[in-house]
Chain A
Amino acid sequence: MTKSKQRIGAAILALSFIFLPIAAMAKNDLVIGTTQYPSTFHPNIDSMLAKSYVHGLTRRPITVIDADWKTICLLCETLPALENGGAVLEKTADGKDGIAVRYKIIDAAQWGDGTPITVDDVIFTWEVGKNPKSGVSSNEAYRRILSIDRIDDRTFTFHIDRRTFDYSDISQFNLLPAHIERAKFSTPEAYRTQTAFDTDATNPGLFMGPYVMTQAKTGSHMVFERNPKWWGKKPAFDKITVRVIENTATLEANLLSGGIDMIAGELGLNVDQALAFEKRHGKKFAVTYKPGLIYEHIDLMLDNPLLSDIRMRQALLYALDRKSISEKLFGGKQPVAHTSINPLDWVYADDVAHYDFNPEKAAALLDQAGWQNKKNGIRENAAGEPLRFEIMTTAGNRTRELVEQVLQSQWKTAGIDVRIKNEPARVFFGETVTQRKFQAMAMFAWISAPESVPRTTLHSEEIPTAENNWSGQNYTGFKNAEMDTLLRNIETELDRDKRKVMWHRLQQIYAAELPALPLYFRADSYILPKWLKGLTPTGHQFPTTLWVENWSVSR
């Protein structure tokens, strides 16, 4: 070996010593890669998945839905129910049906600065939540609580103004530490800009989970260290860093280079990206897919005369080979949807109309609807007008654009000319969808929850109009009196069996009327190191981090 070669070798070795320690992290640390940074750390202002994910490390809701899709206590001792006396039916002051629900906060529960979690925090949270000036995004859950009885420091009773089947689920009631936040709430109008969650985000007194946040760099990363005051099972890692890398190619590169240990399923790669990654690097990582509640569908503009004909809507669906799309594009990981209800939900009904790929049926329905003639492969009506629709979705969403092209091609085979007109998300959701400006089809997803009543999307009172200032999410303009009644009754029916019957009917109507074309349920893809065990995807809105204490390292 020449001297110059020796020098080059020595230089490379020196560089390796300088740079390699940066990539190699200590084994008792975990670095998670995600694609989004929370806009606020306040638990009740601006709901977003990125925030739920990191709050899973640092906070515990009073109740939560677990991986088996059952409501359980995390911060309370026993889940109240009519059967165990924790819930009692009562009348409100104005004579309406109400309910009283009692909870007891577990004795060991305390904030990260050692202050016990008490009913004071519960009452303060309620005061903030129901105050219209506080900036809390959704205060419906707080407004429903008429009063709170303090039984003792840890026990309280909510008096709720209605009887809904999910009376025991208060997962939206995110506790605030009164000992820190009360002073910030002295001027409710200014609370959202003064809350300690954003002005003093690493104050340990804001947290009550296995970890406390010790560093937060906007748009870059957050660091979490063990909470010495945590009363539950000791988590495996001393420190967890959540790094935000929006570009998924860079996210993958960071995983491969050791910059991060895993990619969060909730906010990471799409299924198609994960499948491609698995093909290339599957041996080095554990790749898990979990279908969830995100419902990809096409909202149909029912004011469009062509789409107001049920035969046209059915023909559109019969002409699609959704099973093949699921298998070819998503490796079968994203199941075909038949209604908006997920098969994992206990209220799911399988015996409703399914529209499996059937080109003959599609053709027959189109013929019946008056689109019998064909010119250049496109159907026409008696007046010679071509059968043409416009489909829109969020520009730049690679998966949706890919699916859209396949749909366009399948419809063309059936003689339906579908033109693609995509828009940036902020235009699409900011005006086109919310003000019902799409001509025929709008492809997007609904985020749901287990047994979530789809009132906002299906009730006739929820159709956005200029008169109601475009409020409501029934963008299709669907009107069905029986559906309206069902939506109202399901919410207040406490008997599970009776409710199941109503849910069944709701799905029957949905499948028969097709206000939207169901496509598939999106799946989360978790790319994990093979040594990480105990991470159980839930498939719903509650993230895996809520059970971070069950994660372990297996060598």
Chain B
Amino acid sequence: MSEFLIRRVFHSLIVLFVMSVIIYGLIGLMPGDPIDLMISADPHITSEDAARLRLIYGLDQPLWSRYLHWLGSALTGDLGYSRLYAQPVWDAIVPALSNTLVLLLSSLTLALMIALPAGIFAATRPYSLSDYGINLAAFAGISIPPFWLGILLILLFAVTLGWLPAGGTAEAAGAGTLWERVPYLVLPIVSLTIAGVGGHTRFMRASMIETLRQDYIRTARAKGLSQSRVVLGHALRNAMIPVVTVIALDLGVLFSGALITETVFAYPGMGKLIFDSIMGNDYNLALVCLLLATALTLFGNLFADVAYAALDPRISYGDIEA
């Protein structure tokens, strides 16, 4: 297993390097540069100013030269300076990353806490009224556009009932304790949970139905085991394998995909940071953010592979069997 892990980490590093070249190249190929954006906002910037600023920001250099300069600095631990946020890239990322992790881990946990039992419940009663009800709710969750759901939640709980804040963070309202922070997280978490729970429920249900058709399940039932023992003791581990894959892939998607929720709830997280950095031509920030998203996806896949071995005794990775 350790050899497998080392090999996978090495592969991941190669992927990250290739991705850094591709991302930097793609960002560089996009039209315009940061100085063009400055000019459009400041009528006082003259042609001489523009040339001087391009020199200062290193934009007079060819793209490959800028990339090599960034790579050299990054290898020494300096990820560069964010022009958009006027601070080192890492300083801009850390608060957004922590906000996103709180939001996404909470919503993912909550979504799984609802989706897994609901999917199992529906799978054990296929085509029953409760199965149809769960499926209907799952499809509704998948189908509702996140921005619309967010606005509806705000209108109901913030504007009409006045129970919860309409967005932002607790600090913006001068609140600081954990208890005071909770209300600001409720609506974005609910919004993301509703968006995620449907898909996971459907995966869990499909996987469990498939597993329950296996011969060894029939054998377990023939031995006279109870339904709960059959489902939880025998079927669940195998049924979880495809679900784990989906959850692992979700990590990367969630990391960069909460943009709409973050925008609607004025929640300063990674989705917004990535969007702003790309639209604002902030090469360093965009590159590091996208590499983080890539790294998280790779880590998710690695986690899934390890989890397969833990879930399925037939899967082993060379030196050690799970």
Chain A positions near chain B (C-beta within 8 angstroms):
15-16, 18-20, 22-23, 25, 31, 39-42, 45-49, 132-133, 135, 137-141, 172, 189, 192-193, 198-199, 215, 217-221, 223, 241, 243-247, 249-250, 253-254, 256-259, 424-427, 429-432, 434, 446-449, 452, 456, 462, 468-469, 471-473
- Of the candidates B37, B85, B162, B265, the one whose C-beta lies within 8 Å of that of A20 is B162
B46 contact set on A, CB distance < 8 A = 138, 140, 456, 471
A135 contact set on B, CB distance < 8 A = 53, 56
A19 contacts B87, C-beta separation under 8 Å? no
Contact A253/B159 with A140-B44, A426-B281, A431-B31 known, Cβ cut-off 8 Å: yes
A330 and B2 alpha carbons, distance in the complex (Å):
67
A447 contact set on B, CB distance < 8 A = 41, 43
- 9 of the cross-chain contacts (CB-CB < 8 Å) are A23-B165, A48-B41, A137-B45, A139-B52, A253-B159, A258-B162, A259-B166, A430-B30, A472-B47
- Of the candidates A42, A192, A218, A462, the one whose C-beta lies within 8 Å of that of B85 is A218
A31 contact set on B, CB distance < 8 A = 173
Give per-residue flags for B112-137: 1 if the beta carbon is below 8 A from chain A beta carbons, else 0. 00000000000000000000000000
A400 to chain B, nearest CB (A): 14
- Of the candidates A221, A256, A471, the one whose C-beta lies within 8 Å of that of B51 is A471
A19 contacts B281, C-beta separation under 8 Å? no
Return the chain B residue nearest A188 by Cβ.
B56
B43 contacts A448, C-beta separation under 8 Å? yes
B44 contact set on A, CB distance < 8 A = 47, 137-138, 140-141, 172
A202 to chain B, nearest CB (A): 14
Closest 6 CB pairs of A and B: A430-B32, A471-B47, A431-B31, A40-B86, A219-B268, A221-B172
Contact A39/B168 with A48-B41, A429-B37, A430-B36 known, Cβ cut-off 8 Å: no
Q: Does B313 contact A (CB under 8 A)?
A: no
Contact A19/B45 with A259-B173, A434-B36 known, Cβ cut-off 8 Å: no
A432 and B263 alpha carbons, distance in the complex (Å):
28
A47 contacts B279, C-beta separation under 8 Å? no
A220 contacts B171, C-beta separation under 8 Å? yes
Chain B positions near chain A (C-beta within 8 angstroms):
30-33, 36-53, 56, 81, 83-88, 92, 95-96, 151, 154-155, 158-159, 162-175, 180, 183-184, 263-266, 268, 272-273, 276, 279-281
A259 to chain B, nearest CB (A): 5
A430 contact set on B, CB distance < 8 A = 30-33, 36-37, 281
A474 and B126 alpha carbons, distance in the complex (Å):
69
A259 contacts B158, C-beta separation under 8 Å? yes
A198 to chain B, nearest CB (A): 4
B45 contact set on A, CB distance < 8 A = 47, 137-138
A546 to chain B, nearest CB (A): 18
A166 to chain B, nearest CB (A): 12
A254 contacts B263, C-beta separation under 8 Å? no
B87 contacts A198, C-beta separation under 8 Å? yes
A426 contact set on B, CB distance < 8 A = 30-32, 37, 279-281
A240 to chain B, nearest CB (A): 12
Return the chain B residue nearest A172 by Cβ.
B44
A138 contacts B49, C-beta separation under 8 Å? yes
B154 contacts A253, C-beta separation under 8 Å? yes
A283 to chain B, nearest CB (A): 16
A259 and B184 alpha carbons, distance in the complex (Å):
11
A257 contacts B31, C-beta separation under 8 Å? no
- Of the candidates A23, A172, A247, A432, the one whose C-beta lies within 8 Å of that of B266 is A247
- Of the candidates B86, B169, B276, the one whose C-beta lies within 8 Å of that of A220 is B169
A456 contacts B43, C-beta separation under 8 Å? yes
A253 contacts B167, C-beta separation under 8 Å? yes
A133 contacts B167, C-beta separation under 8 Å? no
B165 contact set on A, CB distance < 8 A = 19, 22-23, 254, 257, 259
A257 and B155 alpha carbons, distance in the complex (Å):
9
A45 and B56 alpha carbons, distance in the complex (Å):
12
B277 to chain A, nearest CB (A): 11
A135 and B49 alpha carbons, distance in the complex (Å):
10
- Of the candidates A48, A429, A471, the one whose C-beta lies within 8 Å of that of B50 is A471
A397 to chain B, nearest CB (A): 13
A253 contacts B172, C-beta separation under 8 Å? no
A198 and B83 alpha carbons, distance in the complex (Å):
11
Contacts A46-B83, A249-B264, A257-B159 given; 19 further ones with Cβ under 8 A? A19-B162, A22-B170, A22-B173, A22-B183, A23-B165, A39-B85, A135-B53, A140-B44, A192-B86, A198-B86, A218-B96, A219-B272, A250-B151, A250-B264, A253-B159, A424-B279, A426-B281, A429-B37, A430-B31
